[in-house]
């Protein structure tokens, strides 16, 4: 009898797991939850592939009608897309706050209309004190910057008199400002100076900009990419500038970055796991709408990826990594 009860308990547990995963054995049809996910820019950029993959996977698992749109790097367009979500009667909207205050009014309107608002990838610098959003799913940029900055010092023996180039797609955006702040918090106590340049998101243009900066300033002894595009292109830019072997590290993963890390060309990268930034907000929205489970702030990682732990990030690039 006890064994039969244990078997029944196991079946019951399996049913619970099946229910929360949205599998076909769910006893009753889950109500559809309507979610608008706003990618902040850069159609075709490798960084956003795992994010969209994650959002779409969560939508399948949790019976979400997903509208995935792109703001094309325009904060005003992002605000308009939030207002469109309100007008269309969406249950939740998932934007990115690239410019402080730019989405405050639109987010407040969404909240007033009863939408769940979960910010992903980039938060207001003041968090919930600066924007009415319910929660944030993304990386702690300052903490991650400090980690890769210290790794550069430890691995390459950077010291007083060294000067690091910090290229980043959009220097004026919050992620760039905070990552630079974190990196510099490690470099400056060691006497290492730095300079920031903008690269945009087009690989060919970024490669040229970085190589020209290296040629123009021979005092640059290291480079730390503060985003996917510069981290991808620093090694090739160094070769083009006649600086092959320039000490370098950076942020984010994609197949090219991982190939450079596994080959020992780049020391490491800070992985913010964009898959989670797509998957978790969609899941949180579904569970809050259906069950009243409030979304929570979620740090998607200050994870240093090196050659010693990079196999899976290389294998699953473009989907889960």
Q: Which of 223, 203, 226, 200 is nearest to 213 (CA)?
A: 223
Please give the pLDDT value at position 4.
Answer: 37
Which tokens belong to 254?
């994609």
In the chain, where the domains are located? 30-139+273-302, 141-271
Q: Are 261 and 305 in contact (CB under 8 A)?
A: yes
Q: DSSP strand E in the chain: where?
A: 33-39, 64-70, 92-94, 116-120, 135-138, 163-168, 193-198, 222-224, 248-251, 269-271, 298-299, 303-305
Residue with tokens 């889950």: 30
Which tokens belong to 151?
């790794």
Please give the pLDDT value at position 30.
Answer: 85
Please give the pLDDT value at position 277.
Answer: 98
φ/ψ bin of 42: left (φ > 0), alpha (ψ from -120 to 50), beta (otherwise): left
Q: Are 147 and 270 in contact (CB under 8 A)?
A: yes
| CATH 3.40.50.2300 given to domain 30-139+273-302 | yes
Is it true that 30-139+273-302 and 141-271 share their CATH fold?
yes
Task: Give per-residue pLDDT as tens, 27-79.
Answer: 347 899 999 999 999 988 889 999 999 999 999 999 999 999 999 999 999 99
Instruction: Report the distance separating Cα 76 and Cα 89, nearest Å.
Output: 20
DSSP secondary structure code for residue 172 in this structure:
T
Which architecture, in CATH terms, is 141-271?
3-Layer(aba) Sandwich (3.40)
Please give the pLDDT value at position 2.
Answer: 36
Q: Are 130 and 100 in contact (CB under 8 A)?
A: yes
Please give the pLDDT value at position 1.
Answer: 37
Residue with tokens 């690039």: 317
Please give the pLDDT value at position 16.
Answer: 42
Q: Which residues of the chain are modeled with pLDDT < 50? A: 1-20, 24-25, 27-28
Please give the pLDDT value at position 26.
Answer: 53
What residues pair up with 198 in beta bridges, in sequence order?
Answer: 168
DSSP secondary structure code for residue 129 in this structure:
G
Entry pTM = 0.88
């Amino acid at each position: 009898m006890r064994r039969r009860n244990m078997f029944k308990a196991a079946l019951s547990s399996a049913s619970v797991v099946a229910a929360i995963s949205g599998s076909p054995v769910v006893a009753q049809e889950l109500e559809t939850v309507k979610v608008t996910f706003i990618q902040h820019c850069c159609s075709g950029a490798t960084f956003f592939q795992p994010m969209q993959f994650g959002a779409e996977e969560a939508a399948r698992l949790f019976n979400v009608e997903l509208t995935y749109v792109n703001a094309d790097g325009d904060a005003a367009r992002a605000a308009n897309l939030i207002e469109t979500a309100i007008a269309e009667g969406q249950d939740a909207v998932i934007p990115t706050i690239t410019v402080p205050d730019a989405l405050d009014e639109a987010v407040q309107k969404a909240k007033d209309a009863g939408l769940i608002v979960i910010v992903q990838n980039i938060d207001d610098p003041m968090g919930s004190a600066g924007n009415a959003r319910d929660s944030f799913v993304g990386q702690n940029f300052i903490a991650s910057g400090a980690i890769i900055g210290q790794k550069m010092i430890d691995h390459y023996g950077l010291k007083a008199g060294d000067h690091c180039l910090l290229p980043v797609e959009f220097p004026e955006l919050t992620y760039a400002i905070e990552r630079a702040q974190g990196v510099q918090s490690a470099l400056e106590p060691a006497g290492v100076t730095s300079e920031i340049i903008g690269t945009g998101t087009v690989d060919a243009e970024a490669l040229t900009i970085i190589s020209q900066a290296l040629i123009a300033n021979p005092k640059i002894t290291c480079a730390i990419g503060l985003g996917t595009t510069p981290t991808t292109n620093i090694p090739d830019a160094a070769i083009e500038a006649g600086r092959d072997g320039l000490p370098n590290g950076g942020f984010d993963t994609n197949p090219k970055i991982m190939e450079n890390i596994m080959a020992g060309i780049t020391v490491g990268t800070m992985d913010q796991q964009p898959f989670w930034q797509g998957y978790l907000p969609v899941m949180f929205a579904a569970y809050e709408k259906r069950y009243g489970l409030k979304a929570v702030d979620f740090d998607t990682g200050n994870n240093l990826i090196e050659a010693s732990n990079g196999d899976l990030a290389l294998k699953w690039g473009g989907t889960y990594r």
